[in-house]
Amino acid sequence: MTDTSARHIPDRLHSAAARLLKSWEVLLLAVAVAIFVANSFASPYFLNAWNLSDATFNFTEKAMIAFAMALLIISGEIDLSVASIIALASTAMGAAAQLGLGAPALVLIGLATGLACGAFNGALVTGLGLPSIVVTIGTMSLFRGISYIVLGDQAYRGYPPEFAFFGQGYVAWVISFEFVLFAVLALVYGVVLHRTNFGRAIFAIGNNPTGALFSGIQVRRVKFILFLLTGAMSGIAAICLTSRLGSTRPSIAFGWELEVVTMVVLGGVSILGGSGSIPGVVIAAFVMGLVTFGLGLLNVPGIVMSIFIGLLLIGVIALPRLWAMRTR
């Protein structure tokens, strides 16, 4: 990804570990293919167009957030409140649906809630200069807390029928609306990160915020926009998820922030900021989706799958480092 842009900031550092990381996407793709082949041998139900289409719902909503989160983490910040933003946006949409508002209004409300939450995080981090990890641990409790205050142990149902399209609709044959949205967003984020000045600025900030500031990048504004984007993507994910489930509880999407961060890190984005790529995140989304789906077909309970996800998260970071230690 070292294209010839004006600033010549490499996406990756040049060290022994980085050389291996350079082929990270290739390695990850090989893992994805291996899991795919293993799955098709392990279960006779795997190679079925409808089943595979169903499997994409395991990751499309999380991956939408992961794209924005990747940009945010590359810039050196993090947002742990994304799952709580989903809960709040879903609650807002549910409340609006009770008032009899139609699908277009619900979509607007979901997006607006996401944007507002993102702006709140962004203002606290860039305006007051607070560390993003603490701020978003706080807003993680706050946003979901508001959902609990509004809903308690109740649930919102009764969404308008046309609202179901976003999470349950199909564009053509087995291609779901969510999957198309995922593909379009992947393309948009890939272009923004790897082919625009704004993308180069994100890498520059992640590698050296002070240096970026002195080279004329408006660090705080870029970071604020990234928090806005993450909030907006959480709002979009909330629309899809609420539409798919057809109901809202305050515990909706609980724990998703970890899966989103895992997806981003698995995709080769450095948690310390400064390096990563969108293609990597896309492949990581497929890997996680395939693992979850394959284990599900083999009747492995969800909580045991989380062991695999946890080991995957540590393993993908530990292995290149162990490798680098051995070859040094």
Partner 1 sequence: MTQYLKSREAILLGAILALLAMIATRFPAFVSPGNLLNVFNDTAPLIILALGQTVVILTRCIDLSVAANLALTGMVVAMLNAAAPGVPIAVILVLAVSLGAILGAINGVLVWKLSIPPIVVTLGTMTVFRGLIFVISGGEWVNAHEMSAAFTGFPRSVVLGLPMLSWIALGIAALFLLLVFRTPLGRAFYAVGGNPHAAVYTGIVVGRTQFWAFVLSGALAGLTGYLWVARYAVAYVDIAAGFELEVVAACVIGGISIAGGAGTLVGTILGALFLGIVKNALPVVDISPFWQLAISGSAIIVAVTFNVRQNRRRGRIILKRAEGHA
Rule CB under 8 A: which of 103-132 touch partner 1?
Answer: 124, 128-131
Q: Identify which range of 177-185, 188-196, 221-229, 307-315 contacts partner 1 by CB under 8 A.
A: 307-315
Among 13, 196, 311, 327, binds partner 1 (CB under 8 A): 311
Return d(Cα 49, Cα 172) in angstroms, integer.
Answer: 13
Q: Identify which range of 29-37, 146-154, 187-195, 287-295 contacts partner 1 by CB under 8 A.
A: 146-154
**204/283 with CB nearer partner 1:** 204
Return d(Cα 90, Cα 114) in angstroms, integer.
Answer: 10
**228/260 with CB nearer partner 1:** 260
Residue 143 near residue 87, CB atoms below 8 Å: yes
CB of 138 to partner 1, least distance (A): 3
CB of 323 to partner 1, least distance (A): 11
The binding track of 227-256 with respect to partner 1, each residue x by CB under 8 A or -, is -----------------------x------
- Kind and range of the H or E run holding 172: strand 170-172
Q: For helices 49-56 and 177-195, what crossing angle results, to 10°?
A: 50
**108/130 with CB nearer partner 1:** 130
**137/174 with CB nearer partner 1:** 137
Return d(Cα 62, Cα 65) in angstroms, integer.
Answer: 5
Residue 273 near residue 206, CB atoms below 8 Å: yes
Residue 10 neighbours by CB distance under 10 Å: 13
Return d(Cα 167, Cα 175) in angstroms, integer.
Answer: 12
161 is a contact residue toward partner 1 (CB under 8 A): no
The binding track of 8-47 with respect to partner 1, each residue x by CB under 8 A or -, is ----------------------------------------
Return d(Cα 109, Cα 25) in angstroms, integer.
Answer: 37
Among 52, 54, 148, 169, binds partner 1 (CB under 8 A): 148
Among 38, 95, 146, 180, binds partner 1 (CB under 8 A): 146
Residue 188 C-beta-side C-alpha neighbours within 13 Å: 11
Please list the helix, strand and coil fractions of the chain in percent, rounded to the nearest 5, in that order. 75, 0, 25
Return d(Cα 109, Cα 89) in angstroms, integer.
Answer: 7
216 is a contact residue toward partner 1 (CB under 8 A): no
Query: Residue count at the site for partner 1 (CB under 8 A)?
Result: 50
CB of 257 to partner 1, least distance (A): 9
Return d(Cα 108, Cα 111) in angstroms, integer.
Answer: 5
Among 26, 133, 171, 298, binds partner 1 (CB under 8 A): 133
What residues contact residue 91 under an 8 Å CB cut-off, 6+ apart? 146, 147, 150, 151, 156, 248, 250
201 is a contact residue toward partner 1 (CB under 8 A): no
Residues that bind partner 1 (CB under 8 A): 76, 78, 124, 128-131, 133-135, 137-146, 148-149, 152, 206, 208-210, 250, 258, 261-262, 265, 271-273, 301, 303-307, 309-311, 313-314, 317-318, 321-322
